[in-house]
Structure 1
Amino acid sequence: MHIKPFNNKNKAIVDVNDKFVPLTYFNIVKLNAGEQFHYKVSGYETCIVPATGTIDVEVIGQTFEAVGNRKVDVWGGEPEAVYVPVGIEAKFTCVTDNTEVFIAGAKYDKVLKPFVVRVAELDLVQYGSDETKTHRKIKHILGQKQANQVGRLLVSELFTVGQGGWSGFPSHKHDTNRLPEETRHDETYNFRFKPNYGSGLQMLQREENKSGDAYHIVNGSTVCIDKGYHPCCVLPGYEMYYFTILGGLSQRSLKQYFQPTHAAQLKTIPGILDMVEKFK
């Protein structure tokens, strides 16, 4: 499902128990200097990630100061974040002129401890090649390094390297719990483009060897992946970013099932198997 950009007025874009992706939660909050935002999401663990600007975050009496360092856009530095346990109230305050904050969430039933993710705790991966039109880098915010601190939530930022190209290829899915071949993980994206008038295409093929859906994605588009194979691409001459939220049904580690039609392409894309191992 494609949700076109709109003024969400700091209210959830993908709310709890969403009919398409009930395992994930997503909100965008925009504040000016000195403004605060309070929230609590029952039944979901969440992660606060400033897209731009800097915030102070308070959770259960703990204060995490000066989270976030990007000024203009998501290409302007490395992400930072704060993990918020299930059902716990969090408050953050804008300490720069303005801020745009992503709140990612996944359904979970245990209360863990809050923590901050600084630049040094990120897990950075780059794979693909210009020749195969699959060159991209991934910044894992809640990834393998945080495996023992989080329940079901995976959060990352994905960037195309250079202009144009494909992401999420070879086509894969993760909509059915059938270990060891595949796990059920709902997924939600928010896209950005550089320059911001760029655009791309999100494919969603729900059945093998049958035509599927295609969405024209623009700066600020949100896409919910509930079922099917889902590669995406960006127009030549533009760079693409997407904030990625994965919520697992029975486990946190993601097991992707690659589409048999295109599985041979796994051998042509440098580093892709190492990339797959990072979604744990």
Structure 2
Amino acid sequence: MKGRKSTVTTSSHSSDSHPSDFYVPAGSSGSGSYTLDLSPERSVLGHSSLRVLPLAPGGSHAFYAGESEWIVLPLAGSCTVTADGQRFELRGRASVFAGVSDFAYVPPGARVGVSSRGGGRFALAGARCGGERRLPARYRPASEVPVELRGAGACSRQVNNFAAAGTFDAEKLIAVEVLTPGGNWSSYPPHKHDECRPGVESELEEIYYFEIAAAAAGNPAAEGVGYQRVTPSGQGKGTEVLAEVRTGDAVLIPDGWHGPSIAAPGHDMYYLNVMAGPEPDRQWLICDHPDHAWIRGAWATQPVDPRLPLYEAPAPEVER
């Protein structure tokens, strides 16, 4: 399946939009030190940002947080983060398929440094803030990241709720990691969160950033793929995407029903979700697509995929 990436994308979200606004192939949206650089200034999104920062051994990078809050999350490797006079040592991980990672939060207006003795790749997940409150820079260990199993059967997936609305305090930013075993569907049933309906649905745009695992058997060099679907939710919201995704690709979802996210058999799929929106209350309330919501009831009679969890959060370190 190697060769040119195939994607079908259309959108009526804006008269100025075109397909590449929503499906972002790896290497197509980098700038400066970043291999991926998505922000309100550089995309169709108005609130969310995601950068991927590679560092060579001994490398370092500095940036200004501006009006956004940020989380520095190791994708592969370890790093040191400095902000607001504080220094955080992130152990990181070998890869997103190897374990939960610790991370650092930095507030708007901070001058941030990221350095890595051994090198690696680091995600910078951001959200534009309203300035109502400025939270302190802080560190969270991997042992405190809740690992959740969702769905059942072929819809089983693992969610690392490292910066979910109910597990970590931020002003606007919501971010989680999802791991889907090869052959399974996640982000299913299709759901949306593009309207402000108090107590029912939150208005949140979203970024999906993908990595695909090498084959565990057969030909380990074979390139894996996944698929992402977004369909219009109506009422003038018309984002539509059908994309074949590989490692380093991203899909932007300003609105619409999103899902399924499909992992090809033999290749586990990872995606990082970054969400933010205009509402004053930071919460994740979703609405399932009415044609497919029934699938949740079927999970009660199905076991969770025995391949999950791919890993669990490590035990807390014991101080000596």
TM range (shorter): 0.7 to 0.9
Residue pair 1:127, 1:270 contacting (<8 A) in 2 also: no
Which of 49, 52, 68 is the equivalent residue of 1:25? 49
1:99 maps to 2:120: yes
Number of matched residues? Answer: 262
Range moving further from structure 2, 48-57 or 261-270: 261-270
Aligned residue for 1:269, secondary structure, equals helix
1:84 maps to 2:119: no
Which of 277, 283, 293 is the equivalent residue of 1:253? 283
State the shift of 1:20 in Å: 2.0
Residues 212 and 246 (structure 1), Cα distance of their counterparts in 2 relative to 1, 3 Å cut? closer
Aligned residue for 1:38, secondary structure, equals strand
Residue pair 2:69, 2:127 contacting (<8 A) in 1 also: yes
> 1:121 matched to which residue of 2?
144
Aligned residue for 1:261, secondary structure, equals coil
Bigger radius of gyration: 2
How far apart in 1 are the matches of 2:33 and 2:208?
17
Q: Which runs of 5+ in 1 are unaligned?
A: 272-280
How far apart in 2 are the matches of 1:107 and 1:211?
22
> 1:176 matched to which residue of 2?
195
In the TM superposition, what whole-angstrom CA distance separates every residue of 1:246-266 from its partner, at most 9, and x where no partner exists? 113212111101111112222
Residues 61 and 225 (structure 1), Cα distance of their counterparts in 2 relative to 1, 3 Å cut? same
Q: Which runs of 5+ in 2 are unaligned?
A: 1-21, 215-221, 302-320
1:198 maps to 2:238: no
Q: How does 1:145-160 map to 2 (within 5 A)?
A: 145-147=167-169, 150-160=170-180
How far apart in 2 are the matches of 1:129 and 1:153?
28
Q: How does 1:26-41 map to 2 (within 5 A)?
A: 26-41=50-65
Task: State, as a whole percentage, how many aligned pairs show the same letter.
Answer: 22
1:227 maps to 2:227: no
How far apart in 1 are the matches of 2:288 and 2:295?
10
> 1:274 matched to which residue of 2?
none
Instruction: Please tell me the root mean square deviation across aligned C-alpha atoms, in Å.
Output: 2.0
**What TM-score does the superposition give when structure 2 sets the normalisation length?**
0.77
> 1:45 matched to which residue of 2?
69
Runs of at least 4 residues of structure 1 off by over 6 A?
Answer: none
State the shift of 1:270 in Å: 4.9
Aligned residue for 1:141, secondary structure, equals strand
